[in-house]
Amino acid sequence: MNEIVLKITGLTKKYKGVVAVDNLDMTLYSGDIYGLIGKNGAGKTTLIRLITSLSKADKGDIMLFDEEKKSKLDQARRRIGAVVEMPAFYPNLSAMRNLEYYRRLKGIPDKKVVNKTLKMVGLEKVGNKKFKNFSLGMKQRLGLGLALLNNPDFIILDEPINGLDPVGIIEIRETIKSLNQEYGITMLISSHILTELSMVATRYGIINDGMLIKELDTNELDEKCKKSLVLTVDNVASAAGIIETELQSFNYKIISMQEIQVYDYLDNPSEVIYKLSQSGVRVSKFTEMGDSLEDYYISLVGGAVS
């Protein structure tokens, strides 16, 4: 079992009598890219503010890197980097000079950390271009760079691709993957853009009305949203026999007198159709089926993510 980076037990936060986070339990392990999913107002940002000590919980416990006593917890938070809102950067300074300013402000002695950080977020070649002339994607990556200055083991990102164009989304996606896979950084990412989140996350937590209603990893999600080929045939019994003998697959299900569902050969459906046709079974229709992360989310809480 990987090291527990974050463990939350019974966390509750109220604002003026309204429960924003409700008796919430959550666990993140070292190496996770943990996707926190929920509608606007579900409690995602409040939870992040509690983890990063920007807000104080009414009750419950937070443990970071096996530390939960307040004195040790504050020290453990030094191993966190976070982008909750866009940081304030000087518009007329370059990426390097902005990060150099924050390096000094944070008292980080290693002068090489700025160049290292710019490389980590893909901004090492922007030169003297001023921040005010950056694209939104570049600004987001510089914000991520600021969160990386203290060489954290754990990064928290709140809606990192919100408002980005397709190119900016791809850049952030690749940066997230690189930070996790090449540098071993554990991540908690809050987002309502589930198609993008499903491309990077390894585990998921679904939050609704302040409660974490489900935690699952990618294998569990794949099983819940299992994809398949659904073929309409003129002889379903013969089709089943051919799938077993000719295609050596027993991973199928007969769903009606004319339809059969095949869970193998998703990357090569033409082979299935060819084998069936060659053996005299006529295929009149085939479709690929399977729920997406968004479909699964809606099945749990109802309504679209917004």
**How many CB atoms lie under 10 A from the CB of residue 195?**
11
How is the beta sheet containing 259-262 ordered, strand by strand? 252-254, 259-262, 228-233, 283-289
Amino acid at 219: N
**Are 96 and 216 found together in one domain?**
yes
**Are 199 and 248 found together in one domain?**
no
Residue 300 has pLDDT above 90, yes or no: no
Does residue 17 lie within any of the structural domains? yes
**Are 131 and 44 found together in one domain?**
yes
Does residue 296 lie within any of the structural domains? no
% of the chain residues with pLDDT over 90: 71
**Are 168 and 285 found together in one domain?**
no
**Are 13 and 85 found together in one domain?**
yes
Residue 82 has pLDDT above 80, yes or no: yes
**Are 96 and 151 found together in one domain?**
yes
The mean of the pLDDT values for the chain is: 91
For residue range 144-189, list pLDDT tens digits in order. 999 999 999 999 999 998 888 888 899 999 999 999 999 999 999 9
CATH number at residue 284: 3.30.70.3400
Instruction: Give the largest Cα separation in the chain, rounded.
Output: 75
Residue owning tokens 């700025």:
114
For residue range 268-282, list pLDDT tens digits in order. 999 999 999 999 999
Does residue 70 lie within any of the structural domains? yes
Region for 132 from its dihedrals, namely left if φ exceeds 0, alpha if ψ lies in -120 to 50, beta otherwise: alpha
- What is the pLDDT confidence band of residue 215, given thresholds at 50, 70 and 90? very high
**Are 230 and 213 found together in one domain?**
no
* pLDDT score, position 1: 57
Residue owning tokens 């295609």:
247
* DSSP string covering 2-50: PPEEEEEEEEEEEETTEEEEEEEEEEEETT-EEEEE--TTSSHHHHHHH
**Domain ends where: 223, 241, 264?**
223
CATH number at residue 104: 3.40.50.300
State pTM to two decimals.
Answer: 0.80
- Which residues, 6 or more positions from 223, have their beta carbon under 8 angstroms from its beta carbon? none
**Domain ends where: 223, 255, 270?**
223
**Are 104 and 207 found together in one domain?**
yes
**How many CB atoms lie under 10 A from the CB of residue 25?**
15
**Are 146 and 183 found together in one domain?**
yes
**Are 219 and 239 found together in one domain?**
no
Does residue 294 lie within any of the structural domains? no
Amino acid at 250: F
Cα–Cα distance between 68 and 172 in angstroms, integer?
A: 32
**Domain ends where: 198, 223, 248?**
223
**Are 87 and 104 found together in one domain?**
yes
If DSSP codes are grouped into helix, strand and coil, which group holds residue 50?
A: helix
Q: Which two tokens stand for residue 104?
A: 């000094």
**Are 63 and 44 found together in one domain?**
yes
* pLDDT score, position 67: 72
Structural domain boundaries enclosing 260: 226-289
Does residue 297 lie within any of the structural domains? no
For residue range 33-78, list pLDDT tens digits in order. 999 998 888 999 999 999 999 999 999 999 999 876 777 888 898 8
Q: Quick one: 150 exposed, middle or buried, by C-beta within 10 A (0-12, 13-18, 19+)?
A: middle
The candidate with the shortest Cα–Cα distance to 191, out of 167, 157, 221, is: 157
Residues 28, 304, 137: CA angle, nearest 5 degrees: 65
| Total domains, the chain | 2
Cα–Cα distance between 204 and 218 in angstroms, integer?
A: 8
Q: Which two tokens stand for residue 219?
A: 């294998």
Does residue 208 lie within any of the structural domains? yes
For residue range 238-271, list pLDDT tens digits in order. 999 999 999 999 989 898 999 999 988 988 999 9
